[in-house]
Amino acid sequence: MLQLSPAPHISSSKNVNKIMYGVVAALVPALIGSIYFFGWRALFLTSLSVLSALITECVFQRVTHREIRCLDGSAIITGILIAFNIPVNSPWWLPVAGSFFAIFVVKQLFGGLGYNIFNPALAGRAFLVASWPFLMTGNWTPPISGTLSGISVLDGVTQATPLSLLAISSPEGVIQSLNSSTMLKTLFIGNTGGCLGETSALLLLIGALFLFFFGYADWRISISYIGSVFIFSGILYLLGVTPVNPLFHILSGGVMLGGLFMATDMVTSPVTLKGRWIFGIGGGILCIILRLWAGYPEGVSYSILIMNMFVPLLDRLHPRIYGR
């Protein structure tokens, strides 16, 4: 019996699972880093988070009689990213609650894979920040081998991450040290206080390069997001609006994690090239605005969530059709 199927009869090697597990693999260096910096609890929290995401998705699909495809890798990504967005001394139920909300409300209630408007992990984080603000933003522990703020002289004096030092209008000397090359190096390597997966720019970059190479994420979004954070904060630095230099801005907080792994989420970013550039640039500028003038020290997650809302609009920037 001959098989009938429509053309094309060959397919590129890409498929959904491969892309999703590719992203999971790209997050592994940062995961290993978080275990190194924060100890085994990092792995424990990440595993719980992933498990919660998987179970939520599986149960939802079962109950609603949908195809059970919770192992396609996308829920695992959400689970890892939720864990990457919480401090290491969070209670065990925090990532569980975050992943549950991300998968149940943000992803599945909107129609499941491909239909969600917001990046589930970011919206899950926003939910956690709104519900348990102290656990999410005031509950920092230093990494095993480093210091919380990356500034050794201030050890024990402050209970803040490098980024939050900026928000609480610290004394001049502290701000000076934020601009030092030692500080920037610490931020690049990741040996500092912060959420589980966001501290090491280096390890995140290694993973992201892998994604760009295989085309599992669009470098344009990352470049435009991180680039516009750099340029916009640079302008404000020169104008004296922000006391820290632009390198500090791109290396601290969640800019790397957000710009490389969350803004590039295919489902919640625009499909046209022009749209992706605008999406990235808009997100970067919003991030700095939120950082400098909003209530929280960090602006990455809200900047991307706001840009997520613009995606249907940005998708209307159709390329010019051949011959039209």
Rule CB under 8 A: which residues touch other proteins?
2-12, 14-16, 18-19, 69, 72, 74, 112-115, 215, 218, 266-273, 315, 318-324
- Runs of H (alpha helix) within the chain: 16-38, 40-63, 74-84, 93-101, 120-131, 133-137, 162-167, 172-178, 181-189, 201-214, 219-238, 246-251, 255-257, 273-293, 300-314
Q: Residues 6 or more apart from 222 whose CB is under 8 A from it?
A: 208, 212, 259, 260, 263, 264, 280
| Residue whose CB is less far from other proteins, 71 or 292 | 71
Q: Quote the CA–CA distance of 107 and 257 in Å, as a whole number.
A: 20
Looking from the CA of 244 toward its CB, the CA atoms found within 13 Å total: 31
| Residue whose CB is less far from other proteins, 295 or 319 | 319
| Residue whose CB is less far from other proteins, 155 or 315 | 315
Measured CA to CA in angstroms, residue 199 lies from 71, 74, 104, 260 at distances of 28, 23, 28, 13
| Residue whose CB is less far from other proteins, 14 or 62 | 14
| Residue whose CB is less far from other proteins, 11 or 169 | 11
Q: Quote the CA–CA distance of 178 and 163 in Å, as a whole number.
A: 9
| Residue whose CB is less far from other proteins, 185 or 318 | 318
Q: Quote the CA–CA distance of 204 and 260 in Å, as a whole number.
A: 7
Q: Quote the CA–CA distance of 100 and 316 in Å, as a whole number.
A: 32
Shortest Å, Cβ 222 to other proteins: 15
Shortest Å, Cβ 204 to other proteins: 21
Shortest Å, Cβ 65 to other proteins: 16
DSSP 174-205: HHHHHTSHHHHHHHHHT-BSS-TTTS-HHHHH
| Residue whose CB is less far from other proteins, 188 or 216 | 216
- Smallest CA-to-CA distance from 255 within 162, 151, 138 is with 162
Shortest Å, Cβ 12 to other proteins: 5
Q: Quote the CA–CA distance of 134 and 140 in Å, as a whole number.
A: 10
Shortest Å, Cβ 147 to other proteins: 41
| Residue whose CB is less far from other proteins, 218 or 298 | 218
Shortest Å, Cβ 20 to other proteins: 8
Shortest Å, Cβ 265 to other proteins: 9
Shortest Å, Cβ 231 to other proteins: 25
